[in-house]
Structure 1
Amino acid sequence: MLNPSASAAPVGQDSPAPFTATPVRTSASKRIDSLRLLGGGRELVIEHAGQEYRLRLTRNDKLILTK
């Protein structure tokens, strides 16, 4: 059984400051179907920060991203 006075601050002392949580982003991640992204093909070139990356669909229906 819990003792309600056990968590109280001792007499004459201030209680500790309450915990303040930092805000959390609630926006959902964007989602796109891989078949739509690939446009019916098996490979897509993505340019990011001046570099080219290839997103490939394998024979085993897996996605591989390579630089």
Structure 2
Amino acid sequence: MFGNPYGHPNILAEFIAGQLKNRVSFRKAMKKAIELTEQADTKGIQIQIARRIDGKEIARVEWIREVI
């Protein structure tokens, strides 16, 4: 009835945040999010993660874009 919930950006952001809290690699979390959106029949996705990635002392920004 409502389709795949991972087509909604808020739900996808919650998924990625949960993965990062569980100490999953940020690259693996972003790739899994892309797989989930491909199943949701979206036109594309852009993900940006900005924080102290992988426990490093300096903050940085990582992003990925996929056109489906």
The structure richer in helix per residue is 2
Bigger Cα Rg: 1
Structure-1-length-normalised TM-score: 0.25
The TM-score normalised by the length of structure 2 is 0.24
Which structure has more relative contact order (CA 8 Å, sep 6+)? It is: 2
